[in-house]
Chain A
Amino acid sequence: MKLRKGIPVIDQGDKLGFWGGKFGGNFVPETLKKPIEDLEIQFNKLKKDKEFIKERDRYFKNWVGTPTRFIKLNNLTNYIGGAQIWSKVVSDANGGAHKIYNATVHCLLARRSGKKVIIGDTGAGYAGKMLSMAAKKFGLKCKIFMGAKDIKRQQPNVKAMKKNGADVIPVYSGSQTLVDAVSECMRYWVANCDTTAMCVGSTVGPSIFVRICGWSTSQISRELKVQLINEFGHVPKKLKLYNCVGGGSSSFGFWNEFMDYDKKQVEFIGVEAGGPAKSKRHAAPLTYGSKIGILHGAAQYVNQDSDGQIEETESISAGLDYPGISPLHCFLKDTKRARYTAASDEEALKAYQIVTKYENLRPSLEPSHAFSVAIKEAKKLSKNTIVIINSCGDAYKDRGILEKKLGKKYVKSN
């Protein structure tokens, strides 16, 4: 299996949509073949269309708010005493997380194809919140599928979705988390694909959704590359990019522009959710060697039993609480371009405490996983190593969990 240079990773799949011959694909009911094919044709055309790119960039700039900040975390760097620690503050983006890029692009596509309704899944509530914002902006009706358990633990985002006029549909099947929300959303699309567009909230699902999402979030690394050159005059000689990985949309977007660099120069570190310290129900299929299986239309490493039933996961961060992982990351793992590890719930909380103690930055529980590993590794690295953590979400949505786990002083009013 080989990663090719000079071709975007999203376009390195084969005719049937498989990366490396075995990850991804389109394991979908016959009914969805046509809408998926329509979307493929539309996207392949538009991504080469200068007018469309201009339109996208205009909304990214004026509405999403690009570029998001790239800042040095001086206090944290001094406290750790190793590599220089920087952060790409993607949570600056309109709505407070990277999910806005994919949501915006899907709404632009839906509007062009004449669809009046857009549906989406959500775990932490960010994908849903952003889709509801974008739908409102572009005059589309919006339905968001969300696990009942997640609705309980991510109330601020649920309120935001409703405020934006979206229907939030609770999903009670299975573990009542993201995995079930995606299934329910796909089922709804099966029944309504003639009038309705679907947005998959991460780089998962049938291959076209993986590609659209990866293409959209790549805005993050496009900005970062410019910011690095402005700051250092070039892409640093020792650069390490840390990102949490659930479905894998923010990390893929954070890395994409640097794909062709040698990994000795630009290393990618993906941090999965290890779950509670002693739990076996992690959400880290890449770290703990899960087998390849089919989930939500794509072949990927996924937590499952020997029969092929998908296993429930457990993580403090709803956004990472997913038994599978993007086919793109399976591909990056097997080609050894990226390195994957996991942080536990406790480690993420600890990292959140450290970051908020030293910096004026409040990463949500998802990027706190990445901070945890970055902090640990930065200690052992030289001063001329640049460590960057993608702070891809804001902790506002986690206030309930943080208050319960850490006490009131860690929750600032907003």
Chain B
Amino acid sequence: MLNPISLAFKKAKNEKRPALLTYTVAGDSSKKQSLEILKAISNYADILEVGVPHNTPVADGGQIQTSSYRAIKNGIKMNDIFKIVKDFKTNKNSKPIILMGYYNMIFQYGENNFLKKCKKSGVNGLIVVDLPWPENKIFSKKCKKNSINFIQLLSPTTSNERLKSITKDSHDMIYYISMLSTTGGKLKVSPKKILANYNKIKKISPKKNCVIGFGITEKTISNFKNTDGLVVGSQICKEITRSLSNRQNPVINVSNMVERLRKKIS
């Protein structure tokens, strides 16, 4: 049987569209609200990335940093994040969940404990921003044993040789970082060039589901319809910030945005 993440890709493929992946930060702006946001957007998104906020992030741009600091300030802890996932998973309409964060949070929890807790609460995949290949070899094997998808990252600076080794060691899903940027950067590379790199990866590793992230927004998303999946993060975080400062309900605004995103690729 396919795991839930691969199943989500398959479903999107059957509908002849890329899978839509969203990224929101756990606990932004509160534990309760971030859960409500997940529930609301799972009507339109296929896979939900849940950010584990960290206070010394080396790859996040301003929007996600703002969300993370807001969540940390409101007291979010690792165990709260597992609880949010667990509560979300009791929802009828739940979707696969990928936790995305920095390695120190896993290291402090203990790799084995962390994975046990992931399994218990229903986490389906992990993206660890600062645990690259080959440093992640042992941990990604542990993930596999626990039926958790460890998602390898690729970037425009990844050499062909690395590309081959990394895709070989990857599970069902891989993540291509579209450009040299922190999250939330403006798309500074042409979609054509990004797609060329994407196709190079697909050629080496045709069976793996490859998603593109960084710089994907309402404006740019329709350029990438012929891909396995697309991740939108910073624009959603920005929408939460905007809603809060305008005293509007972020749950409704974010849900509307994700609906629009979905329409653009359907």
Q: State whether these chains interact.
A: yes
Given contacts A193-B180, A307-B78, A308-B108, contact A30 B155 (CB under 8 A): yes
Whether a CB of chain B sits under 8 angstroms from the CB of A186 is yes
Q: How far is the CA of A321 from the CA of B51 in the complex (A)?
A: 29
Flag if A187 contacts B59 (CB, 8 Å): yes
Flag if B180 contacts A192 (CB, 8 Å): yes
CB distance from A189 to the nearest CB of B (A): 9
Question: Which of B130-138, B194-202, B218-226, B238-246 lies on the face that meets chain A?
Answer: B130-138
Question: Which of B42-50, B86-94, B98-106 lies on the face that meets chain A?
Answer: B98-106
Q: Range of interface residues on chain B?
A: 35 or more
Q: How far is the CA of A30 from the CA of B57 in the complex (A)?
A: 14
Q: How far is the CA of A34 from the CA of B133 in the complex (A)?
A: 12
Interface string of B103-115 (1 = CB under 8 A from A): 1110111000000
Flag if B54 contacts A309 (CB, 8 Å): yes
Flag if A30 contacts B107 (CB, 8 Å): no
CB distance from A35 to the nearest CB of B (A): 7
Whether a CB of chain A sits under 8 angstroms from the CB of B72 is yes
Q: How far is the CA of A316 from the CA of B24 in the complex (A)?
A: 38
Q: How far is the CA of A34 from the CA of B155 in the complex (A)?
A: 10
Total CB contacts across the A-B interface at under 8 A: 111
Flag if A308 contacts B104 (CB, 8 Å): yes
Interface string of B164-177 (1 = CB under 8 A from A): 00000000000001
Whether a CB of chain B sits under 8 angstroms from the CB of A190 is yes
B residues in contact with A295, CB < 8 Å: 56, 104
Flag if A297 contacts B130 (CB, 8 Å): yes
Interface string of A355-382 (1 = CB under 8 A from B): 0000000000000000000000000000
Question: Which of A20-28, A211-219, A250-258 lies on the face that meets chain B?
Answer: A20-28
Among B55, B57, B61, B132, which residue has the most Cβ atoms of chain A within 10 A? B55
Flag if B180 contacts A294 (CB, 8 Å): no
Flag if A310 contacts B55 (CB, 8 Å): yes
Tell me the B17-71 residues at the A interface (CB within 8 Å). 54-61, 65, 69
Q: Return the contact of A187 from the options B61, B102, B131, B158 (Cβ within 8 A).
A: B61
Given contacts A27-B135, A34-B158, contact A191 B185 (CB under 8 A): yes
Flag if A27 contacts B103 (CB, 8 Å): yes
A residues in contact with B131, CB < 8 Å: 27
Residue on A nearest B128 in the bound complex, by CB: A27
Whether a CB of chain B sits under 8 angstroms from the CB of A233 is no
Binding site for A on B (CB under 8 A): 54-61, 65, 69, 72, 77-78, 102-105, 107-109, 129-135, 153-159, 162, 177, 180-182, 185
| Contact sample, A vs B, 18 pairs, CB 8 Å cutoff | A16-B134, A27-B130, A27-B131, A30-B155, A187-B58, A190-B58, A190-B181, A192-B180, A294-B102, A294-B103, A294-B107, A294-B130, A297-B58, A297-B130, A304-B108, A307-B109, A309-B54, A309-B72
